[in-house]
Amino acid sequence: MLKENPTTSNDKETFQILKKSWKPTQVELNEIEKEEKLNSNISQKRAFKVCIRVRPLLNDEVYKHYDATTAVNNSVFIHKLQQRFNKKSLETKLFSVDQVFDTQSTNEDVYESINHLIPLILEGGVGTVFTYGQTGSGKTHTMTGIENLVAKNIFSDILHKIFGGREGYEKFLSKNPSYIPKFKEYNQKVIVSFFEIYGETISDLLNNKNKLDLSEDVFGAINITGGLVEVEVNDTESMLELIKKGSAFRNTKATFKNDTSSRSHAVFQIKIINFSDYNGAEAGCLYIVDLAGSESGADTQHHNKEQIAESVAINKSLAALKDCIRNRSLAVTSKRHIHIPYRNSKLTLLLKESFELDSNRQCETVVIATCSPTEIDTAQTLNTLRYIAPLKVNLPPSTYDAENPASWNNVELRKWVKENGVFENGSRVDPNKFCPRENGKQICLLHEEDILERLTLNGIGYKNAKLFHFKLWNLALKGKAKKHAIKGEMEKTQGKPIVAFKERWESGKVALDFDDQLKLLLSKEKEGLWRCCEIVKSDIGGYEVRVDKLILAEEKLFNKPVLLTFDEARKVYELDI
């Protein structure tokens, strides 16, 4: 590995003497304490958790360079030797994040910062972990460690969940010592894929670098197209084998800073599929993303034309990633609309769901900033830390509203189902079967036929299933209207919500009226009266526009405009709630 060496042995000695006598100031200690108090008081979990890992000095660095960092609890100090006239002193910068891993930390220690993502994906959520940092700072070392530890732990985590905890599983094992787990028996599948994003090209690392692409469907979901190989795995060894195979195919080249520098973003994806789930239940998903290293101008001074173009492409996609996270954090606090530019790169498009404020599923991301400890990398380390330190984002506060199913989590939904799914003939809706993992919003987005199927397959008669669906659907519509009322889009008059007509009604808009009927506005007949055609529920779920059913409707009864999206496959419209 090539290293520049502007450090004299004199500097190194002076630095070591100064660092030995260095202590954080009282102001800095107060700041660390304040940050830690703030972290421990956070009742909400982080949507974006930020960690720092400082790697140790490597063998070829130990003699020439020195460690310019000091970690104190969840903060790290970066030191710089300054010379003023004849006097040398230490200049220090402090960064506080959620967790710091110092030069002595192991990959097992770092794994602790991400292991909460496993229960999240077993519940159908989306977990993302990525490392960000200069080339040669330890991203691949950290990510390979995490991939291997996930492979080692995920299968026992699933079994503990199936057997109601570690003790339950151990008790079972003591009675069945030769038991070999078969996840299919428990309706679980663990599916693994591994691909890289090099510039804007996506290649399958488990299939000879077969070219893949991303597409966004009409519902906004991102799909990998081109035949991604997805392998079902049942044990640690098979998963480790795939990690090894995929890593060997990765695009790496020697650079000025790193002999085996990764020139692509590698994405190791684990899907947890509960295949007894009905239509519409999404798989839990973990993305482990090893980013290509960012390079400074100085790092690229020995690059040829092709390498410079490669560096520009890497830095561009890293900038897109930073923009998305930064705007995501701004969007949580800002009163105005903040655009999250996830379409600016393939990487951010893939991770779109992690940036969405209003995602249907719970999404949590861990960002690990990796740093080289040496004094010659201080400028790049400061760049990395300045960027990642403000990225901490809390999950949006709970918006639970007993009258709005779209705001319920799985526990709240189950409670409602238990209380409301009771019929005169004694049959009951079992929440374990109706909504094993979904939250209220996910259930509200299901088609009527999917809901009816869930109910009838579990012994609820068709008539009762319709009644139950109607109750839930009505509540969802009212909840949505109420949400708008709270937002100030409606006024209350005599106990009845009346629209404050900020929106100008115009032809082509769809209005929901106070009887929960939808109408497509065709033309204005006269002031306050519109010629419309009816939009009715279809037998196959969704809505149909009945051009044969023309009516006149009073504008004052319109509750609010709604968006309909067209389901190309079934040729019906769906309410975009």
DSSP 339: -
Radius of gyration of the chain (CA): 28
Q: Is 140 within any annotated ligand binding site?
A: yes
Cβ-based nearer residue to ligand ATP, 69 or 137:
137
**Rounded least distance, CB 350 to ligand ATP, Å:** 19
Report in angstroms how near the CB of residue 54 gets to ligand ATP at its nearest: 8
Residue nearer to ligand ATP on the CB measure, 141 or 484: 141
* Shortest CB 199 distance to ligand ATP, Å: 15
Task: Please report which helix (H) or strand (E) contains residue 407, including its range.
Answer: none
The answer to whether the annotation marks 133 as part of a ligand binding site is yes
List the one residue out of 194, 326, 305 whose CA is nearest residue 251. 194
User: For ligand ATP, which residue has the nearest CB?
Assistant: 293
Rounded (5°) CA angle 511-513-519: 40
User: Residue 293 or residue 479: which is nearer to ligand ATP going by CB?
Assistant: 293
Query: Distance of alpha carbon 511 from its chain centroid, rounded?
Result: 34
Query: What's the rounded Cα separation, in Å, for the pair 373 and 65?
Result: 9
Instruction: Give the nearest distance from C-beta 1 to ligand ATP in angstroms.
Output: 8
Q: Is 479 annotated as a binding residue?
A: no
Nearer to ligand ATP, 125 or 293 (CB): 293
Residues 280, 284, 287, CA angle at the centre, nearest 5°?
Answer: 130
Which of residues 79 and 257 has its CB atom nearest to ligand ATP in the complex? 257
HEC string of 466-519 equals HHHHHHHHHHHHHHHHHHHHHCCCEEEECCEEEECCCCCCCCCCEEEECCCCEE
- Could you list the beta-strand ranges (E) of 205-311: 210-216, 222-225, 231-233, 252-253, 261-262, 265-274, 284-290
State which residue, 237 or 259, has the beta carbon closest to ligand ATP.
259
**537 is an annotated ligand-binding site residue:** no
Q: How far is the CB of 260 from ligand ATP (least distance, A)?
A: 6
Type of residue numbered 448? E
Residue 5 C-beta: closest distance to ligand ATP, Å = 18
Residues of this chain that interact with ligand ATP (CB under 6 A) are 55-56, 58, 133, 135-141, 258, 260-262, 292-293, 370
Whether 470 contacts 305, CB under 8 Å: no
Is 178 labelled as part of a ligand binding site? Answer: no
Residue with token string 């020139």 = 263
Minimum distance from residue 164 beta carbon to ligand ATP (Å): 37
| Nearer residue to ligand ATP within complex by CB, 138 or 440 | 138
Q: Which is nearer to ligand ATP, 19 or 55 (CB)?
A: 55
The Cα 370–Cα 138 span in angstroms is 6
8 in a labelled binding site: no
CB atoms within 10 A of CB 364: 21
Flag whether 136 is marked binding. yes
- Residue 318 CB, shortest distance to ligand ATP, in Å, is 11
Q: Element (H or E) spanning 341, and its range?
A: none
Q: Whole-angstrom distance between the N-terminal and C-terminal Cα of the chain?
A: 55
Chain-centroid distance of CA 351 in Å reads: 7
Binding residues for ATP: 133-140
Binding residues: 133-140
